[in-house]
Amino acid sequence: MMNGDNNYKKIALIIPYFGNFKNYFQLFLTSCKNNPTIDWLIYTDSIEAYEWPENVHKITTTFEDFKQRIQANFDFCVCLDKPYKLCDFKPTYGEVLANDLKDYDFWGYCDCDLIFGDIRKFLTDDVLGKYEKIFTRGHLSIYHNDAATNAFYRTQTNYDYKKVLTTPQAWAFDEWGGVSSAWDKSGRVYYDELCMDDIMYTLDGFHPTKSIRGYGNPYHKNNVNQASKYRKMRNVVYAYENGKLFRCWNTHGKISKEEVLYVHFQKRNMNVDLQQEEENSFLIVPDRFVDYKDLTQQLMKQLAPHKLTGKNIIESTKQVVRNIVK
């Protein structure tokens, strides 16, 4: 399945997804295509028509068949009645999908309600050479592909993994509710720079969750100290420019710009309002994707007025309920 330059350490990112994809899934695929040295393995029952890049491998399967593949890895009966519960099984994929991952140096899991920038700019050979675990959140976590690391979720003593995998509630076992905090408490080193933006879905504008003190790893002091920086940002817009992703914002009367690894739109309703056929460059504003334009302060104020209202939370809450009852 592998694509890209053989000189890079090989990475596969796993997404099981059952049902219809988000309306901006093709833009997600574009952001994957522009990272040709990374592979995605998407296990899905979707029959929707998309342009699938060479490095994104669609593996057609049903939720029930994927569940049985997981069950075959355990000698106890797992509880997996709804696709939403798959979040707790993400740390098991290194074992469950071992045959699909055998040719990769690293494997990971990610969400598809996001847009990637230039992944290799942030996941350098130096980072990949030093760490067995990279990032700590469910929307992107990456592990070195070896037996001990793949079995960490079993051997850690912080959580009863059997209880997590045999009960119906969501434990956030894929991140700080499980393996990430266990890894932290084990004393093993990991990479967790906040080079991505996870957008607060309860507010209308773009407000990265790292503007909250202590977002992410509660033990990571650098994360706490960055909070005030993000709270000062106004009129945040993301610019996707030929495979690179930038956060742009107004501060003190000037436009600032910073490259980010990805932006995550958890539970956020987004419209696609692209008139141009070119999908390699576009702007992302708080409720939609629009054609690329050179940004000015006035345009940013129009596209992303700074407000802290929470109308978006109503539809977001409805979506959460729909996910749970699927």
Q: Please work out, in degrees rounded to the nearest 5, the angle formed at the alpha carbon of residue 298 by the alpha carbons of 202 and 200.
A: 15
Query: Which pair of tokens denotes residue 152?
Result: 């960490």
Same domain for 204 and 188, yes or no, is: no
Q: Tens digits of per-residue pLDDT, 150-192?
A: 999 998 878 899 999 999 999 999 998 899 989 988 989 999 8
Q: Which of 171, 192, 213 is where one domain is finished?
A: 192
Q: Please work out, in degrees rounded to the nearest 5, the angle formed at the alpha carbon of residue 169 by the alpha carbons of 167 and 173.
A: 90
Same domain for 187 and 63, yes or no, is: yes
In a domain, 285, yes or no: yes
Same domain for 51 and 105, yes or no, is: yes
In a domain, 6, yes or no: no
276/56 Cα distance (integer angstroms) = 24
Same domain for 147 and 104, yes or no, is: yes
Same domain for 18 and 134, yes or no, is: yes
pLDDT (0 to 100) of residue 223: 52
Same domain for 168 and 204, yes or no, is: no
Q: Which among 198, 129, 118, 185 is positioned nearest to 152, based on CA atoms?
A: 185
**Hey, how many other C-beta atoms are within 10 angstroms of the C-beta on 171?**
18
Q: Which among 134, 121, 195, 184 is positioned nearest to 158, based on CA atoms?
A: 184
Here the CATH number for the domain that contains residue 59 is 3.90.550
Q: Which domain holds residue 30?
A: 11-192
pLDDT (0 to 100) of residue 316: 42
In a domain, 242, yes or no: yes
Q: Which of 177, 192, 207 is where one domain is finished?
A: 192
Same domain for 115 and 131, yes or no, is: yes
**Distances in Å between the alpha carbon of 56 and those of 42, 111, 232, 233, 272?**
7, 14, 37, 34, 22
Q: What is the count of structural domains for the chain?
A: 2
Same domain for 92 and 106, yes or no, is: yes
Same domain for 22 and 116, yes or no, is: yes
Q: Tens digits of per-residue pLDDT, 252-301?
A: 789 999 999 999 998 899 999 998 867 799 999 999 999 999 999 999 99
Q: Which of 192, 208, 241 is where one domain is finished?
A: 192
Question: How large is the C-alpha radius of gyration of the chain?
Answer: 19
* pLDDT, block means (10 residues), the chain with 326 residues: 72 97 96 98 96 97 98 98 96 98 98 97 96 94 97 89 96 90 90 88 71 46 56 87 95 90 93 86 95 94 74 42 35
Same domain for 69 and 106, yes or no, is: yes
Same domain for 97 and 33, yes or no, is: yes
For residue 55, the one-letter residue type is N
Where do runs of H (alpha helix) occur along 40-146? 63-71, 93-96, 98-101, 119-122, 125-130
